[in-house]
Amino acid sequence: MTTAKITPKVLVIDDDNDLRYSLKRVLSGRQYEVLEAASGEEGLIMAEKHCPHVILLDNRMGGMSGMEALQHLRGINPNAMIILMTAYGTTQTTIEAMKFGAFDYIMKPFDLKKILSLTESAIAASSDLDKAGKEESVPAVSKEDIEGGIIGSSSAMQEVFKMIGQVAASDVTVMITGESGTGKELIARAIYQNSLRAQKPYIAVNCAAIPENLIESELFGHEKGSFTGATNQRIGKFELCDGGTIFLDEIGDMALTTQTKILRALQEGEIQRVGSSETIKVNVRMLAATNKPLEEMVKEKTFREDLYYRLNVVRIQLPPLRERKEDVSQLIDFVLKRLARDSKTEAKLISPEALALLNKHDWPGNVRELENLIYRSAVIAQGEMILIKDLPQELVRAVGSPPGPKVPKSQSEPVALEEEPLHAVAPAAAETLLGHLAIDPYDAVYADLREAHGINILEHAERALIARALQDAGGKQVKAAEILGMTRATLRKRMDQYDLG
Ligand SMILES: Nc1ncnc2c1ncn2[C@@H]1O[C@H](COP(=O)(O)OP(=O)(O)OP(=O)(O)O)[C@@H](O)[C@H]1O
Ligand SMILES: [Mg+2]
């Protein structure tokens, strides 16, 4: 018996006519039947009528939003693989999309090749589903919003957000690994906040901070008189957390004897208070994190192999910041805005030169280092903008030379930027600055000044900038030099040259 080959059906829901047209062209080229809908509402009707295998769904549309449509579509056609497309990617959208059962998520503008390969894998997954004849259930999700506090538009972080969405609704144990300061604690909390246990307790235990002889009593409780100092009965964190989520942070620092008990809690769902033979049933979801190399510890027998496999059901490996430098400027912006919110002031900005310099740094302390550095620099910065001189000078020296900007030996001296032309430091930053100043060398006014009066545009602009800085600094040369990023000696020279004394 032969089975007729089915042509895969792809439904494109997007209010952008041009995009629908391009998608239709490339997808039809792959022998897919392509259906189109220009709104979420129309999309639902089409999905009901045609039962597409794959749906490419825009997130931002007039009328029903993509996220809303996604939830309805999952009800109408649970076997369809939905790919959410959006130009407005945020952490929460990615997490939500995956939670609501999207197959994947792609940010606009995208490469048509990428969407093609994604559609292909969605079609493969969809026929797998047909074969298995199973219907994925839509997880019931609370509308609870996480506080949008996780930043990351790099593809590595987008993958992390997808994983959060995929694992949040199940009770699976998640192991979060990554260097110090990469955000393991933040991710654990996001999993909890997006889980079905979000209304239940969440208890984080830092296994490294509790002395070995106390950790068992902390976790499992103890009976009165079970050891010296146990003057009262104590209820442990596992019992307190019944029905909720327990986050075992720094699990690589846990003693072997405690590991055995954790394993039992995980496997049997039961614990014993220290000094008691009674077993108590507990229902907790466990999340764990460490920056220790657990695999090596297993080989060295300092971490139980069976516990390792039990915890490592799903692994979220957080990438170090140096491998996702595209997130740096967004993180800085986020930290500055949060700082402004907390101190009820206007958010400071960061100068393009300072940003260019920070982009060269490798961030061994990851996001925590970035956070501390920005807090510190924002406090030091006197104006509304963080300048190179406000950054820690050791860092400026380390990453700034060579080929970065020259840095003075002494901290009291302003940074001498004029020896290293701006265009050599950061071309994009220089462009932005020109944009702010509205200086266009091809402008008719300048052409006229140049030809009729022999005026040099650079000198003209420099003179105007110095005059402005002197005015802003109330005539104080040290301050003006600082604003301009030049030494006081150079400023004096220029003032003489332009007759600005
Ligand atoms: N993606 C992110 N967006 C915003 N803030 C972040 C992000 N990642 C980390 N942070 C911030 O950086 C700091 C360090 O994060 P966290 O404590 O979660 O790191 P960690 O991986 O647990 O580090 P350690 O291994 O040292 O415990 C926190 O203040 C956290 O809020
Ligand atoms: Mg931590």
Atom of ligand 1 nearest to the CA of 187: 18
Q: Following DSSP, what letter does each residue of 225-262 receive, concatenated? A: TSSTT--S-EE-HHHHTTTSEEEEETGGG--HHHHHHH
The residue behind tokens 């246990």 is: 197
pLDDT band at 305 (very low <50, low <70, confident <90, very high): very high
3-state secondary structure of 36: strand
The residue behind tokens 């490996």 is: 317
Q: How many CA atoms lie within 13 A of 334 on its CB side?
A: 18
> Does the pLDDT at position 449 exceed 70?
no
Are the CB atoms for 259 and 276 separated by under 8 Å? no
pLDDT at 98 (0 to 100): 84
- Mean pLDDT over residues 445-466, rounded? 69
pLDDT at 444 (0 to 100): 53
Phi-psi region of 219 (alpha: psi -120 to 50; beta: other; left: phi over 0): alpha
Q: What angle do CA 311, 315, 316 make, to 5 degrees?
A: 135
**What is the spatial distance between Cα 396 and Cα 357, in angstroms, rounded to a whole number?**
7
Are the CB atoms for 247 and 239 separated by under 8 Å? no
Q: Give me 91's structure tokens.
A: 């952490």
pLDDT at 302 (0 to 100): 94
Q: Whose CA is nearest to atom 12 of ligand 1?
A: 368
pLDDT at 463 (0 to 100): 83
- Mean pLDDT over residues 455-464, rounded? 75
> Does the pLDDT at position 18 exceed 60?
yes
> At the top level of CATH, which class does the domain 9-132 belong to?
alpha beta
Residues 6+ apart with CB under 8 A from 469: 480, 483, 484
Of 146, 182, 317, 366, the residue with max ligand 1 atoms within 8 A of its CB, to mutate for a pocket test, comes to: 182
pLDDT band at 501 (very low <50, low <70, confident <90, very high): confident
State the chain's mean pLDDT as an integer: 81
Q: Following DSSP, what letter does each residue of 114-134 receive, concatenated? A: HHHHHHHHHHHHHHHHHHHT-
Mark out the alpha helices in 269-407 (DSSP H runs): 294-299, 305-311, 328-343, 352-359, 366-380, 393-400
**Gap from CA of 365 to ligand 1 centroid (Å):** 10
> Does the pLDDT at position 370 exceed 50?
yes
- Bridge partners, residue 12, by sequence: 36, 56
Residues 6+ apart with CB under 8 A from 71: 100, 138
Q: Which residue has the higher pLDDT, 428 or 486?
A: 486
Of 90, 185, 248, the residue with max ligand 1 atoms within 8 A of its CB, to mutate for a pocket test, comes to: 185
Q: Give me 491's structure tokens.
A: 């400023």
**Gap from CA of 402 to ligand 2 centroid (Å):** 35
**Whole-angstrom Cα Rg for the chain:** 30
**What is the spatial distance between Cα 115 and Cα 136, in angstroms, rounded to a whole number?**
23
Neighbours of 435 (CB within 10 A): 10
pLDDT at 433 (0 to 100): 56
pLDDT at 440 (0 to 100): 53
> Does the pLDDT at position 133 exceed 50?
no
Are the CB atoms for 39 and 15 separated by under 8 Å? yes
- Bridge partners, residue 35, by sequence: 11
Paired sense of beta strands 279-281 and 270-272, if any: antiparallel
**What is the spatial distance between Cα 15 and Cα 36, in angstroms, rounded to a whole number?**
10
- Mean pLDDT over residues 126-144, rounded? 36
pLDDT at 137 (0 to 100): 29
pLDDT band at 416 (very low <50, low <70, confident <90, very high): very low
> Does the pLDDT at position 2 exceed 90?
no
> Does the pLDDT at position 56 exceed 90?
yes
Mark out the alpha helices in 344-455 (DSSP H runs): 352-359, 366-380, 393-400, 422-425, 427-437, 444-453
> Does the pLDDT at position 446 exceed 70?
no
First to last CA, the chain: 97
pLDDT at 450 (0 to 100): 63
**Cα 417 from chain centroid (whole Å):** 33
Neighbours of 498 (CB within 10 A): 15
Ion ligand 2: residues, Cβ under 5 Å? 184-185
**What is the spatial distance between Cα 386 and Cα 485, in angstroms, rounded to a whole number?**
12
pLDDT band at 439 (very low <50, low <70, confident <90, very high): low
**Gap from CA of 250 to ligand 2 centroid (Å):** 7
The structural domains of the chain, with segments of one domain joined by +, span: 9-132, 155-319, 322-429, 439-501
Q: What angle do CA 348, 354, 356 make, to 5 degrees?
A: 125
31-40 per-position pLDDT tens digit? 889 999 999 9
Q: Which residue has the higher pLDDT, 183 or 91?
A: 183
Domain 439-501 has CATH 1.10.10.60: yes
Nearest to 420 by CA among 372, 338, 357: 357
> Does the pLDDT at position 249 exceed 50?
yes
**What is the spatial distance between Cα 388 and Cα 329, in angstroms, rounded to a whole number?**
15
Atom of ligand 1 nearest to the CA of 150: 3
340-353 per-position pLDDT tens digit? 888 888 889 999 88
Are the CB atoms for 357 and 420 separated by under 8 Å? no
Atom of ligand 1 nearest to the CA of 183: 18
**Gap from CA of 173 to ligand 1 centroid (Å):** 20
- Mean pLDDT over residues 85-90, rounded? 71
Q: Whose CA is nearest to atom 23 of ligand 1?
A: 181
**Gap from CA of 297 to ligand 1 centroid (Å):** 24
**Gap from CA of 264 to ligand 1 centroid (Å):** 30
Atom of ligand 1 nearest to the CA of 186: 18
**Gap from CA of 225 to ligand 1 centroid (Å):** 40
159-198 as b/e: b if 16+ CB within 10 A: bbbbbbbbbbbeeebbbbbbbebbbbbebbbbbbbbbebb
Among the ranges 209-213, 229-233, 287-291, 491-495, which has the highest mean pLDDT value?
287-291
Ligand that comes closest to the CA of residue 179: 1
* Minimum mean pLDDT range among 173-182, 264-273, 326-335, 430-439: 430-439
Of 160, 186, 253, 328, the residue with max ligand 1 atoms within 8 A of its CB, to mutate for a pocket test, comes to: 186
- Mean pLDDT over residues 417-423, rounded? 38
Enumerate residues lining ligand 1, CB below 6 A.
Answer: 149-152, 178, 180-186, 291, 334, 367-368, 371
- Mean pLDDT over residues 471-482, rounded? 86
Q: Which residue has the higher pLDDT, 219 or 143?
A: 219
> Does the pLDDT at position 255 exceed 60?
yes
379-396 per-position pLDDT tens digit? 888 888 999 989 998 898
Look at the domain 155-319 and name its fold.
Rossmann fold (3.40.50)
> Does the pLDDT at position 176 exceed 90?
yes
Would you say the CATH fold of 439-501 matches that of 322-429? no
Are the CB atoms for 8 and 55 separated by under 8 Å? no
Architecture of domain 322-429: Orthogonal Bundle (1.10)
> Does the pLDDT at position 89 exceed 70?
no
Q: Is the pTM of this model over 0.85?
A: no
